[in-house]
A and B are shown apart, each in its own frame.
Chain A
Amino acid sequence: MKVSDQNWLYTISSKQKLIDFNFKEIWRYRDLLTLFVKRDVITVYKQTILGPLWYIIQPLFTSIIFTLIFNNLASIPTGDGVPAFLFNLAGITAWNYFKACLTGTSDTFTKNQGIFGKVYFPRVIMPLSSVVSNLLKFGIQLLVFAAFYLFFVFGKGATASPNMGLVFLPLLILTMAMLGLGFGMVISSLTTKYRDLSFLVQFGVQLLMYGSAVMYPLSYFDEKLPEYSWLVEHNPIAIVIETFRHVALGVDSLYPSKLIYAIIFSVLVFLAGLIVFNKTEKSFIDTV
């Protein structure tokens, strides 16, 4: 009986292909994904009094502070008829999702080395579950945003008006998820060997927020700091947030070409993340 003639289910080998994703296997582990999401959701606020209310409190208070500092104190304009609070809430809601995706996935390997060192499952399940559970959190925050939106439009007579672009909201969310996940996977792969990056993420994310048009419209930045505006204009997150405010509030401007650029950019980042992650997961346990 010649062994090489037999049908093997799979082979564990030292050789590596560039892209070696077993999508069938990932699909087989889909229940694990939902269970991880469930774990993330139910365990975060265990033994807290306010529980999931924290999901809501954080963006609300940040918006209030932003409104006080940036709009009342620094007088950044937010567009005609749109309350500054609503403007900030929109920016923060969108930014929070990107930030959660990035920070939630950027320590995948170091945080899970205990479990990864003991048992095999497709590693990509971990970052994916983080993105999905953050999506639930984002959904709650979006509902809060909608509630305030209705309050301001009907209660206070604000003129903010959404437009047809709202149907593209899922696309915007997907773009943010791919960007956060892509960068997160690259960073988590590199931190297995070089821990420097985890420090970079901590304050880098903080700084990136100021370059991502969260608390100001792109046009205002253009007007005040024209020599640096290319930085923000080429920041895909800034473009996505700007677009989100445009479709939701009717403020800011929509640049279709820039949006397409942002989408292509995030797809590329996502693919790069997958490749790097895939390469690292094979033997990171030896270097972590």
Chain B
Amino acid sequence: MSDIILQVENISKQYRLGLVGTGTLSHDLNRWWHKVRGKEDPYLKVGDINDRSKKALSDYVWALKNISFEVRRGEVLGIIGKNGAGKSTLLKILSRVTSPTTGEIKTKGRIASLLEVGTGFHPEMTGRENVFLNGAILGMTKNEIRNKLNEIIAFSGCERYIDTPVKRYSSGMKVRLAFAVAAHLEPDILVVDEVLAVGDIEFQKKAIGKMQDISKGEGRTVLFVSHDLSAISTLAQKTIVLSNGEIAAIENTDKAIAIYSNMESQAAVFNQEPLKNVPSVTRVEIVTSEGGVLQANYKPFKLNFDINVPEADYKNLSVSFQVFNNLNKAMLFSYIFDIDQPICRKKGINNLSYVFENLRLYKGNYYIKVHLANSKTRQKFQEFDCCSFEVEMLNLKEPEWGWQQNVCQYIDDGKWVY
């Protein structure tokens, strides 16, 4: 059993809403007065949970509340959650950019953070000079950098421009160079936030590979925040799901991702208000083979749409949908165009269905994305996610070792010849 390298105990972070800077003087004085008398900060008691969509009841909000977890040496821990769930705040506290309002973090190793690559690049200096500066900012000494300079430059793939000022670099080159520096850091704990969003596919692969090396090969601990669920599932063994500043789950990555995608949308039926003056989908329903949101592989699956049309004889409507898996990869697509055969021509609600005789999707969690547009004017009326469901392998003969996660995307007909 490997030992615990990082322990987070009851971390909370409070922020003040609205215009920071106005009226803080009076709060500051009040706070100071309480402190002088040895009392607790009066503003720590108030505070709502961090739900972006609800109106605030008090001026203070808990961006993080009572976060506790442990990380073992060599572990890659993923952190997922919706926008504003507190992911970045947590990483900021971990990397000591800001301090927690309450709670404590104990660590046995040096933490280096990679919150946004290229921090501290100076546009007027050359790539080489910036490698030194950036490395030093991230905590390396000059000697460490000098020893790895060639490796860093090679990894970045910017040999040719290394003595050119960084202001002449493309944004992709800057990211490559910056990631190359960061990847050659040797901290005990590396904190990474969404760095892979930039850079081309080839470089993203290289970056993920490097991170795998760091964790598996060199036995370093990595905390990895991303919206890219497939990157999370490739890299992390364990994942934290954050929701409204609190931990919703700490589970093995597959389970955590399932929990996360179920938080997004669950119901088999999806209803929404019609749009004014343009066509809109007001209701989507999935009819699964097993009822509810459970679907068996290779069984019938049906989608029912209610489409509201503002005028009779509306032409050129196009309806399409995609089925995505829980890693946000599109699995299936189908469409229907009014120009091919009239659909939804009557005023008000029109019904439309799509039927899969045998849904071949493999075991996993899926959701539907619906598109509604006018094929002539190219105007897009709607695009939204709805109706998630789960596919189980209920009818096929189970392999000896059971149905594993992510073995394939779908199972097709075909047979072994021998």
Contact = CB atoms under 8 A, between A and B. Distances in A.
Interface of A: 3, 6-14, 16, 28-29, 31-32, 34-36, 38-39, 42-43, 46-47, 114-121, 193-195, 282-283, 285-287
Nearest to B113: A119
16 contacts: A6-B3, A12-B104, A14-B103, A14-B104, A32-B136, A34-B142, A118-B116, A118-B119, A119-B115, A119-B119, A119-B138, A120-B95, A194-B21, A194-B25, A285-B92, A286-B15
Contacts of B113: 118-120
B108 A8 contact: yes
Interface of B: 3-4, 7, 15, 20-21, 24-25, 28, 92-111, 113, 115-116, 119-120, 122, 124-125, 129, 132-133, 136-142
Contacts, number: 117
Contact of B137 (A9, A28, A119): A119
3 nearest A-B residue pairs (beta carbon): A120-B96, A12-B105, A32-B136
Given A3-B7, A43-B122, A193-B24, A12 B99 contact: yes
B107 A117 contact: no
A46 to B, nearest CB: 5
Contacts of B115: 118-119
Nearest to B182: A119
Given A12-B106, A14-B100, A42-B125, 17 more contacts: A6-B4, A9-B107, A9-B108, A9-B109, A12-B94, A12-B105, A14-B99, A16-B99, A28-B139, A31-B140, A36-B133, A42-B124, A118-B97, A118-B113, A120-B111, A120-B113, A287-B24
Nearest to A15: B104
A226 B139 CA distance: 55
A29 B136 CA distance: 7
B104 A11 contact: yes
A282 B13 CA distance: 13
A28 B259 CA distance: 43
Contacts of B132: 35
Given A7-B108, A115-B120, A119-B113, A12 B92 contact: no
A122 to B, nearest CB: 10
A119 B95 contact: yes
A33 to B, nearest CB: 9
Contacts of A285: 92, 97-98
Contacts of A14: 99-104
A146 to B, nearest CB: 31
Contacts of B92: 117, 285
Contacts of A32: 136-137
A282 B95 CA distance: 12
Max chain A Cβ within 10 angstroms of own Cβ: one of B28, B93, B124, B140: B124
Contacts of A282: 98-99
Contacts of A8: 7, 106-108
Given A3-B7, A42-B125, A119-B113, A283 B98 contact: yes
A39 B126 CA distance: 11
A8 B111 CA distance: 13
A6 B108 contact: yes
Contact of A12 (B24, B100, B122, B140): B100
